[in-house]
Amino acid sequence: MSGLSELSILPQVLIDGLTLGFIYAVVAVGYTMVYGILKLVNFAHGEIFMIGAFAGTEVLLALQRFGIVDGVNPYVSLLIAILIASLLSGFIGVGIEYAAYRPIRGVPTLILFITAIGLSFILQDLVRMVVGLAKGTYLVNGVELFSGSFAIGGSAVITEKAIVIIAATLIIMIGMELFVKKSKWGIAIRAVSQDPSTASLMRININKVIALTFFVGSAIGGATGVLYAQYYSTITPYIGFLLGMKALTAAILGGIGNIRGAMLGGVLLGLLESLGTAYIGPLTGGAIGAEYKDVFAFSVLILVLLFKPAGLLGKAVKEKV
């Protein structure tokens, strides 16, 4: 690949990276909200994202069977799927918190860590079993609502579904920022995150706030799953694991526990992954191919944490002596 051709594909690479990065960013927000309150990395969050993808896809397939998709605006169909998937994912998140995390709250971190990983595998296999019994396969093809595309500058193309995903994730992230900063419940979430004991003395119901945090984080994860299914068309019960790990990486990159940091980390990780996929081969003379894009992204994370362990927007915690 010549230098000129490498430069010519850069706009397309950036578009693809931004689209993927916004997906990472919204899922990362779910991780960082739970961590901000419980100091718990909810490894099952990736599977909640996956459940949202399946739920939204099934809603769209049902609408298609009844002829509703073809008879209404595709944006309305997508909104219906997102709302239903968000509610289902939100209630599943609350159920997980109530049944699995609340009874062991306050135990050593390792026990919470193992519980979260166990829940992740349970949800994976449960969805695989249910989908496999219902369809005979766990690989599901979704309903393509948007098929248009637009040329940008003659060398790049942005698809209609990419525009929808970027716009929807921006709305979600702005809404989350306003909710956390301006609403009464958002202030309560921040209070519990900073000092649970003092928040309790101020008559804030800690259990309700934690349950709400799980609901909101899981709901936006489920909504993002619907958008992911629209973008990639085909989904499996295992899409949540790797994407969840990358979203967690994005949260750590930006500063775990910092919502704006999670957003920034997600966008940066998506761009790094897209740039790595496009240029790592030519830059290494073909010695390293695009299949190493994940290694490239995680290597950048390690480098960032070596020089700024708290993440890009995170604050270093002072050690008490």
| DSSP codes, 175-214 | HHHHHHHHSHHHHHHHHHHH-HHHHHHTT--HHHHHHHHH
Residue 87 included in any domain = yes
Residue 318 included in any domain = no
* Predicted pLDDT at 153: 67
Q: Is 258 helix (H, G, I), strand (E, B) or coil?
A: coil
Judge contact between 197 and 173, C-beta under 8 A: no
Give the separation between CA 256 and CA 42, rounded to whole angstroms. 12
* Predicted pLDDT at 284: 66
Tokens 């928040």 identify what position? Answer: 199
* CATH code of the domain containing 25: 1.10.3470
Phi and psi angles of residue 301, each rounded to the nearest 5 degrees, phi first: -60, -45
CB atoms within 10 A of CB 228: 25
Comparing CA positions, the residue from 163, 157, 137, 315 lying closest to residue 234 is 137
Comparing CA positions, the residue from 160, 168, 134 lying closest to residue 55 is 134
- Parent domain of 56: 3-266
CB atoms within 10 A of CB 121: 13
Judge contact between 228 and 243, C-beta under 8 A: yes
Give residue 318's region: left, alpha or beta (phi > 0; psi -120 to 50).
Answer: beta
Bridge partners (DSSP) listed for residue 191: none
Residue 314 included in any domain = no
Model confidence pLDDT, tens digit, residues 114-171: 898 999 999 999 999 998 888 888 888 878 888 888 887 667 788 888 899 999 999 9
Residue 303 included in any domain = no
Question: Per-residue confidence of the chain (321 residues) as pLDDT tens digits?
Answer: 455 456 677 788 888 889 989 999 999 988 888 887 777 788 889 999 999 999 999 998 888 877 766 656 788 888 999 999 999 999 999 999 999 988 888 788 888 888 989 999 999 999 999 988 888 888 888 788 888 888 876 677 888 888 999 999 999 888 888 888 889 988 888 888 888 888 888 888 888 999 999 999 999 999 999 999 998 888 999 998 888 888 888 888 888 778 888 888 899 888 888 887 777 766 666 666 667 777 777 777 788 778 887 777 766 555 444
- In the chain, the amino acid numbered 221 is G
* Predicted pLDDT at 56: 92
Q: How many residues does the chain have?
A: 321
Q: How many structural domains is the chain composed of?
A: 1
Residue 245 included in any domain = yes
Residue 98 DSSP label: I
Give the separation between CA 40 and CA 4, rounded to whole angstroms. 47
Prediction pTM value: 0.88
Residue 286 included in any domain = no
Residue 212 included in any domain = yes
Q: Is 155 helix (H, G, I), strand (E, B) or coil?
A: coil
* Predicted pLDDT at 204: 87
Phi and psi angles of residue 237, each rounded to the nearest 5 degrees, phi first: -65, -5
Residue 319 included in any domain = no
Q: What angle, 0 to 180 degrees and rounded to 10, lies between the N-to-C axes of helices 160-182 and 259-283?
A: 150
Residue 136 DSSP label: S
